């Protein structure tokens, strides 16, 4: 996930400077530091309505792998829901396998497709289905002395390698480039274990996925909302990081929150992809909403108090949502994990969202996001099909 912004200026700068997606991840986080108010925590009074079980907060470090962290967190909550002891799954194992598949696709597409760290929620499910899963303790991806992911150098080298392959200097591609590409990745992230021991038993990644994780990848359904496409049909997810060209179910804007609400009320958490490079998204204060005024039209006092207590929001329409998407005002920045619902002191509902940027914000790694923000800025989300409302499920045929 990760079409970086601050807004289009940051995209252009990254391209001009040859900035890696890993570095752009740092740029995105740093750009949000100014989105904060001094008295936010004391100005909000949140009360949990639903708070589903989830595992500890992680930190993706200097890597654009939010899609893997959020969706693996989601799978860990699915293990809890199924009555299993949750395992911290290796996020980098999912990412590593996606990088290999992405590289193959990049070459087949003559370089005319997204590359880098970015990905989508479905990438974790697709890699789980093909490669299996391993615990974090078996494959951390920290292979050269770092304590957190730092992928910029690896990204630069793999991008250069694939660029050389696409130029096809031999006039015909050899079978060796795929081995060379995977070897570069593995030299940074570590060799993928063919077998490993976990709690006294030997597993392969495939047998661990089947016997320990125990989810069925075919049960997960991904959604988006485009007013330009037929509703309740599958359509292409129109974002650059959909490198695998997966199709998603297209639903109406209000269906998105209806599905999320129904899933949460029935014990299912939700993997969520969205635009976070908004002045009304505060990582520090752990709050996101849609303001009634554009930031440039606000007074100095209004800007200073953006996150000091509940605020009114405009009525979000499908036309507003689609226009923001088409104008690149809504881009595919980040992925997180929706784990519950809370109310503020005025009775307004927010989603409780688990992030993967560590525990440094006001809510120790969590955020409270309004439903209007989710309607306006969501790029995609994923639920277990059993969490979809019956009427919508019938329209989709799932």
The string of pLDDT tens digits covering residues 131-156 is 999 999 999 999 888 899 999 999 99
285 within 8 A of 307, measured Cβ to Cβ: yes
pLDDT at 144 (0 to 100): 83
Average pLDDT value for the chain: 93
pTM of the model: 0.93
The string of pLDDT tens digits covering residues 375-395 is 999 999 999 999 999 999 999
pLDDT at 1 (0 to 100): 59
Q: Say which residue, 11 or 37, is predicted with more confidence.
A: 37
pLDDT at 369 (0 to 100): 98
Helix axes 8-17, 21-31, angle to 10 degrees: 150
Burial of 17 (0-12, 13-18, 19+ CB in 10 A): exposed
Count other C-beta atoms under 10 Å from residue 219's C-beta: 14
pLDDT at 145 (0 to 100): 83
Beta strand segments in 45-180, E: 47-51
Sequence-distant (≥ 6) Cβ neighbours of residue 62 within 8 angstroms: 22, 23, 25, 26, 148, 149, 150, 151, 152
Sequence-distant (≥ 6) Cβ neighbours of residue 256 within 8 angstroms: 223, 225, 374, 375, 378, 381
Burial of 235 (0-12, 13-18, 19+ CB in 10 A): middle
Q: Say which residue, 31 or 262, is predicted with more confidence.
A: 262
Q: Average pLDDT of 65-75?
A: 97
The single-letter DSSP state of residue 247 is E
**pLDDT at 284 > cutoff 80:** yes
64 within 8 A of 92, measured Cβ to Cβ: no
Pairing state of beta strands 334-343 and 378-384?
Answer: unpaired
**pLDDT at 128 > cutoff 50:** yes
Q: Average pLDDT of 167-172?
A: 94
Sequence-distant (≥ 6) Cβ neighbours of residue 180 within 8 angstroms: 161
Sequence-distant (≥ 6) Cβ neighbours of residue 226 within 8 angstroms: 235, 238, 250, 322, 325
The string of pLDDT tens digits covering residues 192-251 is 999 999 999 999 999 999 999 999 999 999 999 999 999 999 999 999 999 999 999 999
pLDDT band at 3 (very low <50, low <70, confident <90, very high): very low
The string of pLDDT tens digits covering residues 76-117 is 999 999 999 999 999 999 999 999 999 999 999 999 998 888
3-state helix, strand, coil in the chain (%, to 5): 40, 15, 45
Sequence-distant (≥ 6) Cβ neighbours of residue 393 within 8 angstroms: 385
The string of pLDDT tens digits covering residues 321-346 is 999 999 999 999 999 999 999 999 99
The string of pLDDT tens digits covering residues 12-63 is 333 333 334 555 678 888 888 899 999 999 999 999 999 999 999 999 998 9
From the list 185, 158, 15, the residue with the least C-alpha distance to 95 is 185
Token digits of residue 176:
């060796």
Angle at alpha carbon of residue 52, lines to 47 and 58, rounded to 5°? 100
pLDDT at 393 (0 to 100): 98
From the list 55, 59, 47, the residue with the least C-alpha distance to 77 is 55
């Amino acid at each position: 996930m990760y079409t970086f912004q601050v807004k289009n200026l940051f995209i252009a700068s990254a391209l001009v400077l040859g900035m890696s997606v890993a570095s752009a991840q740092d740029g995105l986080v740093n750009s949000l530091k100014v989105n904060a108010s001094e008295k936010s925590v004391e100005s909000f009074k949140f009360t949990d309505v639903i708070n589903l079980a989830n595992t500890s907060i992680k930190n993706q470090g200097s890597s654009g792998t939010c899609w893997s962290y959020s969706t693996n967190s989601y799978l860990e909550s699915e293990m809890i829901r199924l009555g299993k002891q949750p395992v911290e799954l290796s996020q980098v194992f999912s990412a590593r396998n996606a990088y290999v598949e992405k590289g193959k696709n990049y070459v087949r597409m003559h370089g005319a497709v997204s590359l880098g760290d970015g990905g989508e929620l479905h990438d974790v499910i697709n890699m789980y289905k093909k490669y299996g899963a391993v615990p974090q303790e078996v494959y951390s991806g920290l292979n050269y002395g770092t304590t957190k992911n730092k992928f910029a150098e690896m990204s630069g080298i793999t991008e250069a390698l694939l660029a050389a392959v696409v130029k096809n200097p031999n006039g015909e591609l050899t079978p060796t480039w795929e081995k060379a590409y995977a070897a570069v990745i593995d030299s940074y992230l570590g060799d993928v274990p063919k077998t490993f021991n976990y709690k006294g038993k030997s597993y392969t990644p495939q047998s661990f996925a089947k016997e320990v994780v125990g989810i069925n990848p075919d049960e997960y359904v991904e959604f988006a909302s485009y007013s330009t496409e037929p509703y309740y049909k599958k359509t292409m997810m129109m974002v650059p990081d959909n490198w695998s060209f997966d199709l998603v179910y297209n639903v109406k804007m209000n269906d998105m929150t209806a599905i999320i609400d129904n899933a949460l009320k029935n014990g299912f958490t939700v993997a969520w992809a969205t635009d976070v490079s908004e002045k009304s998204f505060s990582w520090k204060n752990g709050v996101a909403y849609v303001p009634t005024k554009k930031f440039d039209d606000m007074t100095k006092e209004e800007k200073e108090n953006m996150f000091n207590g509940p605020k009114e929001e405009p009525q979000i329409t499908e036309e507003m949502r689609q226009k923001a998407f088409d104008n690149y005002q809504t881009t595919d920045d980040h992925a997180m994990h929706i784990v519950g619902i809370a109310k503020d002191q005025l009775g307004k509902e927010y989603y409780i969202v688990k992030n993967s940027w560590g525990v440094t914000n006001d809510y120790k790694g969590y955020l409270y996001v309004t439903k209007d923000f989710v309607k306006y800025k969501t790029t995609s989300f994923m639920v277990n099909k059993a969490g979809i409302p019956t009427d919508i499920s019938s329209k989709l045929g799932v």
